[in-house]
A and B are shown apart, each in its own frame.
Chain A
Amino acid sequence: MILLIKLFLTLQSTSVNFPTKFLKLMLTEFGKIFVFILTAALFVVVAIYVARLLRPKRPTFEKLTTYECGENPEGSPWVKFNIRFYVVALIFLIFDVEVVLLIPWALVYREMGIVGYLIGAIFLILLGVGMAYEWKKGDLEWARPKIKEPTLDIIKSTETKKEELKTAS
């Protein structure tokens, strides 16, 4: 760990204006991020560990059971989701990325002028074409299985008999 910190603490070349002691411990820009990450991790670990040391711990059966609004926990938490959500998730992802890309574009829109407008338009047209393709393919529809209505064999046979009679007469 100390080696890692030393890696990120780079020794700056001495300059005339500043005392050398001060400069020896200066961080690079990435070093600052590293210190930030380190502090964040330490903060969490220390807070959790100190709380663990100080808090009362009296586990009971009720306390350790799954919380389901005071009801008896029922069934497995690993519920199966419908496979049709997969297409919806994919389409959502595309438009999610679109928003992420369009926000920085909107910020520099005025400075970019007509070029920026065209770039944005091409991007949106491409996405629109994709959307139209999805629509045409029927991915936006929530496909439901067709219900097979049960029919009785007796009714079927009488119907065919009626038809036979009709054709005969």
Chain B
Amino acid sequence: MGLLDQEFTEGNIVIAKAEDLFNWARLSSLWQVGFGLACCAIEMMATSASHYDFDRFGVIPRPSPRQSDVIIISGTVTFKMAIRIKRLYEQMPDPKYVISMGSCSNCGGPYWEHGYHVLKGVDRVIPVDVYVPGCPPRPEALLEGLLKLQEKIRNESIVKPIRSGFVGKSA
């Protein structure tokens, strides 16, 4: 199926207007995978709680990646966990987004040199949209990260990309 998605190679007025609608809908209800790894997850939960209220941006934790749009990698990504994260990401339906939260998932953080068990940045296994710096980042920082992601989604296009090596619909 997919009546509009990547069916056209150039934009026109219908596509432009549909894009506006889709992007608005997508950025206004980013459901996240209910998933936390380390101390950053505590900050993430604090962001979801009433004081910072993630819900006002339409972010609700979901129990399954099947229902989710965004995964927040909140904490230290160990090698063991990296396999699971990869699978969770793969099981999310398109379009999907990733927020890397905190130094550990950005680049390995405090484990960058002697962490024999830590992946040096989650972007080595899955594509990251927004990096949130901090150790751990305050809820305000995560909110800013989400706003950046919304900005990114606002400018997305459903026009078929002309890029080599892109795994698209035809592949």
A residues whose Cβ falls under 8 Å from a Cβ of B: 52-58, 60, 62-63, 65, 67, 69-71
Interface contact B91-A62, CB-CB below 8 Å = yes
Task: Report A-chain residues with C-beta under 8 Å of the C-beta of B5.
Answer: 54-57
Is A70 a contact partner of B94 (Cβ separation < 8 A)?
A: no
- A-B pair number, CB within 8 angstroms: 50
Report yes or no: A56 in contact with B84, Cβ–Cβ below 8 A: no
Is A54 within 8 A of B91, CB to CB?
no
Whether B91 contacts A53 by the Cβ 8 Å rule is: no
Known A-B contacts A67-B64, A70-B84, A71-B84; A56 and B169 likewise in contact (beta carbons under 8 Å): yes
Closest 8 CB pairs between A and B? A70-B84, A62-B90, A56-B5, A53-B3, A56-B94, A70-B88, A70-B87, A58-B94
Number of interface residues of B (CB under 8 A): 24
Residues B91 and A63 in contact, CB atoms below 8 Å apart: yes
List which B92-113 residues lie within 8 A (CB) of chain A.
Answer: 92-95
Contacts A52-B1, A63-B92 known; 20 new A-B pairs at CB < 8 A: A53-B1, A54-B2, A55-B2, A55-B94, A56-B2, A56-B5, A56-B169, A57-B2, A57-B5, A58-B168, A58-B169, A62-B87, A62-B90, A62-B91, A63-B90, A65-B91, A67-B64, A67-B65, A69-B84, A70-B85
